Structure 1
Amino acid sequence: MSDPICTVDSASADERWIITGASGQLGGHVVSLLASARAAGRVLALAGAGAVGVGVEVRRIPLQELVALRACVRSWRPTHVVHLGAMTAVSDAFARPDEAHAINTVATRVLAEETGACGGRFVFSSTDMVFDGNAAPYRETDAPSPPSVYGRTKVAAERAIVGMPHALAIRIPLMFGIPVAKTGTTFAAQLAALRSGRPLKLFTDEHRTPIWLFDAARAVIALARSDETGLIHVAGPERLSRLEMIERVARLLAIHEPKLEPISRLAISSAEPRPADLSLDGSRFLARFPQLAPQPMSAAMLR
């Protein structure tokens, strides 16, 4: 397997990228990294209504518009497609399951097929929410058992592409950090609440392996340039509850008495179960890309 050290920080002259979800928190960082690697002139950003990094071509194509998606891939003829666009809100997927299936599953399959037809490499972002939270930490070989509509659409997408020789599904956990657009994420809202002294209710019994946005973006680009196929987990090095995450942020900001209220996830009414522990085992990624090891939360927040 070839692993150039410059898996992220440089760009080949013949690369042509399509990034979906380019206005999202992860997509914005992927586009920004590619632009900084002087690949901006060969990046096509597919995005919703949000802002996208300067210097790249942007097209506003809804993921349900399959004819337009196919035409886009065929005309651009990408060497790499990074599919990050999705309906990610669990409540929205529950309320509109057909739309969630169209966006999260069908569009993924179509993009993967079209990418393969033009000889390109396809990667897409899946989620830790393909698991039920009862047997963490999860490896790539563990059987998914999602309790939510959102998780089921992602499992279906994985199964649609996992046998394709040019395709890879990347399971990514909860992300933290400031998106390129600066706002619009749960973490950004929590950070604003901390700084303004507003109270926050945070789960003590819901655990994840959170990853810094920048580290996740670097991993996605490196994997897109690799020959990995099937499934892979990219996860942060720490198992943290929602409360522990924000306590660390408060310490880094020198907020000595933050208004944090510990609660149980069971205290919140939800149409679908909230998994207790979705920690991912990211050792396969670390073995392949030790130079891209995700940072602990406290170290990442100091960057």
Structure 2
Amino acid sequence: MRRILVTGAAGFVGGHVLPLLAEAGDRVAGIGRGEPPALPAGVTYEAIDLLDETALAAFVGRFRPTEILHLAGLASVADSTSGPGQTWRVNVNGLMNLVAAVEAVPGCTFFFVSSGEVYGSAFLAGHALTEAAEPLPRNTYARSKWVGEQLLRDLLPRIGVKLVVLRPFNHIGPGQDERFVVASFAGQIARIETGLVPPCLEVGNLSSYRDFLDVADVAAAYADLIGRAAALAEGSVFNISSGRPRTIASVLDDLRALARVPFEIRVAPERVRPAEIPLAAGDAGRLHAATGWQPRIAWEASLTRVLDDARARLAASHGAG
């Protein structure tokens, strides 16, 4: 039986990947900050901050994972720009603490969730990138992930731990917070529908092309790869992406079609990121070849799930429904 440790288990993706791992019959444990909304049957959880080196080492020593899925970290590009010090502390110092703890379990496989953001300026090529593209990160978040990849390549072989790098692109779904563009649109639409705010939706740059996936498809990719851990080569890198870039404007149009009331659009200067990359998309051919994975959630179904979740959370926060 595998013993799978998921860091950041109380976060957005953790809530979607834990059930998949538990369904496979493996022993699954999660750690993270705070408490998760719900835990699947058979999954254990402890609130541990990766910056707490002692508690982290003790937990890893007790659980002795055979696989680790490292989801934990600060994931907002905007937040990393306004607070770079905290991003480096959490994404690099926390990672170093986890590596130190993993010294107790040689032979395990470490799945590091990096990001498609690491490609950065390489996206200026104007097409979907494969893993062969040289990462040229352009923001603090992306740099912290790229440094994480390099740290692990240097440190893990010395302690007998296999590294697999995962580079997911933008993913959306229930539970995502409004620092991310699709969740932001959905939350604003939900408030407009209930009359809490005027019918005017604030946006940033709508012309950029981005590669979106449903979080359920991303979680399935993680679970598929963990299930094949023994067959994966040391240092493997996998893009997790749709390969179908969409403009932010088209995403908003699709959400508008699902909205229950009309609304206007206003460009808010504070939402416009400087030095935007015009197109960012990934080629997931390597992942498909390794596991047969491909996106399964239809785009409209994915947007509907996001919007319904925003409505439900708003209703719950206002004591209705």
Aligned residues of 1:219 and 1:234 also touching (Cα < 8 A) = yes
Query: How many Å separate the matches in 2 of 1:57 and 1:295?
Result: 28
| Distance (Å, rounded) in 1 between the aligned partners of 2:151 and 2:288 | 26
The yes-or-no answer on 1:167 pairing with 2:169 is: no
Q: CA deviation at 1:149?
A: 1.2
Question: What code does the residue aligned with 1:199 have?
Answer: C
Counterparts in 2 of 1:74 and 1:35: CA distance versus 1, 3 Å: same
Give yes or no for contact 2:205–2:271 (8 Å, CA) kept in 1. no
**Alignment-mate amino acid for residue 275 of structure 1:** I
Aligned partner of residue 13 in structure 2, secondary structure: helix
Identity across aligned pairs (percent)?
Answer: 22
Query: Where does the alignment leave 5 or more consecutive residues of structure 2 unmatched?
Result: 194-198, 306-321
1:73 corresponds in structure 2 to 60
Contact 1:81-1:115 within 8 A present in 2 as well: no
Report the Cα distance in structure 1 between the residues aligned to 2:97 and 2:103, rounded to whole angstroms.
Answer: 10
Distance 2:279 2:54 in 1: 39
Q: Deviation string for 1:11-44 (max 9, x for gaps)?
A: xxx11111111111111101122234444xx221
- How many angstroms apart in 2 are the aligned matches of 1:241 and 1:155? 26
Moved more, 27-36 or 216-225: 27-36
Once the 2 structures are TM-superposed, how far is the Cα of residue 258 of structure 1 from its aligned partner? 4.6
Partner Cα distance (1:116, 1:199) in 2: 53
User: For the residues of structure 1 that align with 2:259 and 2:117, how far apart are their CA atoms?
Assistant: 32
Task: Please state if 1:44 is matched with 2:29.
Answer: yes
Match of 2:117 among 119, 122, 129: 129
Matches within 5 A, 1:1-303: 14-39=1-26, 42-54=27-39, 55=41, 56-112=43-99, 114-115=101-102, 117-118=104-105, 119-130=107-118, 131-132=120-121, 133-136=123-126, 137-162=128-153, 164=157, 166-179=162-175, 186=180, 187-195=182-190, 196-197=192-193, 198-200=199-201, 201-226=203-228, 227-228=232-233, 229-251=235-257, 253=258, 255=260, 257-261=262-266, 263=267, 268=270, 273-298=275-300, 300-301=302-303
Residue equivalent to 1:11: none
Larger mean CA deviation between 90-99 and 74-83 belongs to 90-99
Query: Normalising by the residue count of structure 2, what TM-score does the alignment of the two structures yield?
Result: 0.77
Q: Aligned-pair RMSD on alpha carbons?
A: 2.8
Contact 1:22 1:45 in 2 (8 A): yes
Q: Deviations over 1:55-113 (max 9, x none)?
A: 42221111222232222212110111111010112243234433322321233344346
Deviation at 1:246, TM superposition (A): 2.6
Give the Cα separation in 2 of the matches to 1:289 and 1:259: 44
Q: Which amino acid in 1 is paired with 2:80?
A: A
Helix, strand or coil: the match of 2:68?
strand
Q: Judge conservation of contact 1:17–1:81 (CA < 8 Å) in 2.
A: yes
- Whose helix fraction is larger, Structure 1's or Structure 2's? 2
Structure 1 residues 128 and 102: CA distance shift in structure 2, 3 A: same
CA distance in 2, matches of 1:138, 1:32: 31
CA-to-aligned-CA distance 1:190-214 (integer Å, 9 cap, x gap): 2232243443225322221111000
Cα offset, 1:52, TM superposition: 4.1
Larger Rg: 2
